[in-house]
Amino acid sequence: MTAAPTRDETRFQELIDRDEKIEPTDWMPDGYRKTLIRQIAQHAHSEVIGMQPEGNWITRAPTLRRKAILMAKVQDEAGHGLYLYSAAETLGVSRHELVDLLHQGKHKYSSIFNYPTLTWADVGAIGWLVDGAAITNQVMLTRCSYGPYARAMVRICKEESFHQRQGYEILLALCRGTEEQKAMAQDAVNRWWWPALMMFGPPDTDSTHTEQSMAWKIKRVSNDDLRQQFVDMTVPQAEYLGLTLPDPDLRWNEERGHYDFGQIDWDEFWDVVKGNGPMNRERLEHKVRAWEENAWVREAALAYEAKQRQRKVAV
Ligand code: 3HC
C-alpha cells in the first residue's frame, strides 16, 4: 500500500496541476531536481560547444557584414550557455561541477554539434535549421514548470530568432547567386537536414525521460510532436529558397494535416550520441584545451573579486 503523500508532495503537485512555476526555494522531488540539472546542464553544454562549428568560419566570412553578424551570433551562444549554467546553479550544483562532467565525457551535449562545417553555406544551414529546431524546442520550454529555466528560455528565444533569420538570409543570398553558390547551399542542406531532425531526441517510444518529464510539465510537447512541428514549419521555407530537402518520402498528407517524412537513421543518432560522430573527439579536445589555456582569465577575475571584497571589509 503506497504511503499518503506528504504535505510537500501535495503542494508540489498542486503547483504543477495549476500550471504554476516551481521556484528554487520550493520543495521538489529529488527526481525532478535531478532531471532538470541533467537537461539544463546538457542544454548549457550544447550552447558552448555549439560555438565551435560556426566559430570556424568567423575569420573566413565573405564580407565584413557577415563577419560581424556571425561574431554576434557566436557571442550570443556563449551568453546562452552562461545563462543556462546560472539556471542550473539554482538547483544546488556549481557550473564547475557541470563543466567537469562534460570534460570527463559524463555529460552529453547536442549531437548536432558533432558534424563538420565544410563550407560557408553550412553557417546558413546551421542558422536556419539548427537554430530553427532549437527555437521550436525552446519556445515549448518557455512553458516549463521550473521557473528559472522557463524565464531563461524567454530571453534566449528572442536572440535565437535573429540567429535563424541571419542563417536563412545567408542561404537566400546563395540561392539567388551563381549556380555554384546555389549548389553549395543545396549540399549544406543535404548534410544538415537529418541531423537537425535528430536534435529533438529519440522517438517517443525510445525516450527515457519523456513520460516523467511530461508529467512534471518540464516537457510540454513530446520529441516526435516537436519534430513534426519543425518539419511542417521548415518545408515551405525550403520551397521558397528553391532547395530540395534530402527526403524522397517527404510529402504533404492532407488527411493528417502534416508532412509525412522518411525514416531517421537512429543508428547514426545513437552512434553520434555515444561519441562516434565525425567531430566528437575534436569538439571535446578543443573545449578542454580552451578551458585550460584560459584558466588565467578565471583566476584574474576571482583575484579581482577577492580584492574588491577586501576593500569593502576594510572600509
Ligand atoms: N543529442 C545528444 N543527446 C541526446 C539528444 C541529442 N540530440 N537527444 C536526446 N539525447 C539523450 C538525452 O540527453 C538522454 O540521455 P541522458 O539520460 O543521458 O541525458 C537520452 O538521449 C534519451 O533521450 P530523452 O528523449 O529521454 O531525453 P530528454 O527527455 O532529455 O529529451 C531533449 C531530449 C529534447 C534534447 C531535451 O533534453 C531538451 O529539450 N533539452 C533542452 C534543449 C537542448 O538541449 N537543445 C540542444 C541544442 S541547444 C542549441 O541548439 C543552441 C542553439 O543556439 C544553436
Work out the average pLDDT over 178-190.
98
* Predicted confidence (pLDDT) per residue in 46-80, tens digit: 999 999 999 999 999 999 999 999 999 999 999 99
The chain-wide mean pLDDT, for the chain, equals 97
pLDDT of residue 186: 98
Decide if 34 contacts 158 (C-beta within 8 A): no
Ligand 1: centre distance to CA 93 (Å): 19
Which residue has the CA at smallest separation from atom 44 of ligand 1? 43
- Residues belonging to the chain: 315
Instruction: Tell me the one-letter amino acid at 196.
Output: A
Instruction: Tell me the one-letter amino acid at 239.
Output: E
Which residue has the CA at smallest separation from atom 50 of ligand 1? 134
Pocket of ligand 1 (CB under 6 A): 38-39, 42-43, 46-47, 50, 77, 80, 108, 110-111, 130-131, 134, 137, 160, 198-202, 207-210, 213, 219, 223, 273
Work out the average pLDDT over 94-112.
97
pLDDT of residue 67: 98
User: Rounded to the nearest 10 degrees, how much is the dihedral formed by the CA atoms of 146, 151, 156, 160?
Assistant: 80
Backbone torsion region of residue 22, taken as left when φ is above 0, otherwise alpha when ψ lies between -120 and 50, otherwise beta:
beta
Position in ligand 1 atom list of the atom nearest CA 213: 29
Which residue has the CA at smallest separation from atom 12 of ligand 1? 201
Q: At 154, is the pLDDT very low, low, confident or very high (cuts 50, 70, 90)? A: very high
pLDDT of residue 4: 80
For ligand 1, mutation pick of 80, 108, 143, 158 (most atoms within 8 Å of CB): 108
Position in ligand 1 atom list of the atom nearest CA 204: 25
* Predicted confidence (pLDDT) per residue in 206-220, tens digit: 999 999 999 999 999
pLDDT of residue 1: 67
